[in-house]
Amino acid sequence: MTYRRFRVVLTLKVLASVLVASAATAEPEIPADVFRAISSLVPGAQPNSVKASPVSDLYEVVLGPHVIYVTGNGRFMLRGDLVEIDTQANLTEASRAHARLAAIEKVGESSMVIFSPEKSEHTITVFTDVDCGYCAKLHREVPELNRKGVKVRYLAFPRAGIKSRTYDKMVSVWCAEDSLQALSDAKFRRPLEPRTCENPVQEHYRLGKLVGVRGTPTIVLENGEVVPGYLPAGELVEMVRSGGDT
């Protein structure tokens, strides 16, 4: 091997190691061209995972809550669902659900407003808006969900955006001394003391955009599956206990 070629190979290996420094499940046999393509697509990217897909010479790349595919030569990128024809299993959605949940868990429960039962058996995470009628309707059923052993974790998603009255209300909720009471007050149109502090509302909103939240409430089950919109407590409990879509 010539010195010049040795330097090129060494550079690619260093690039690959940097890109996967924070990857949880990166595989050692991934072609360097795949990592070079990722770096070209998203400069400075650090994939959560890179692995071979069931399709020959096609690699699954997880970036935050997103799943894409890159060919082994690094020339082509695919965005879409990979479906196994025989079983009709959506392989991409399974990976996407895992990535979605990982992104939510990275935010951490310390930044959420959580209504917990005495004994928690299951968990749902809800992107919510205090000025959303169906969010208030779901919130009225939180006591029933808690009685059935379901912990409800709230993330802020002001649909009107960061520069809105709803955003300001949600900051007040997250900054309140009793954020659980403040959230209930805001949802049920009771007086809410305006407050400001260092808060995660903007981070929650951006996370919601990344994972594809389009409306509220958006419910994420503990397997990463998304339930868009309101469901009665009974149906939601049944879905949670069955592990997903029923």
* C-alpha–C-alpha distance, residues 90 and 48, integer Å: 20
Which of these is catalytic: 96, 100, 153, 159?
159
Task: Give me the torsion for CA of 140, 178, 213, 227, rounded to 10°.
Answer: -40
Pair of tokens at residue 244: 């997903």
| Dihedral angle sign, alpha carbons of residues 12, 13, 15, 20 | positive
Task: Give me the torsion for CA of 173, 175, 181, 187, rounded to 10°.
Answer: 0
- Per the annotation, the verdict on 129 as an active-site residue is yes
Which of these is catalytic: 100, 135, 153, 185?
135
- Per the annotation, the verdict on 135 as an active-site residue is yes
Q: What is the SS3 assignment for 168?
A: helix
Which of these is catalytic: 131, 132, 153, 185?
132
Phi, psi of 230, deg, nearest 5: -75, 140
Say if CB 68 and CB 74 are below 8 A apart. no
Which of these is catalytic: 36, 129, 131, 185?
129
Q: Could you tell me which of 56, 76, 81, 53 has the C-alpha nearest to residue 66?
A: 81
Q: What is the SS3 assignment for 84?
A: strand
**Catalytic residue numbers?**
129, 132, 135, 159
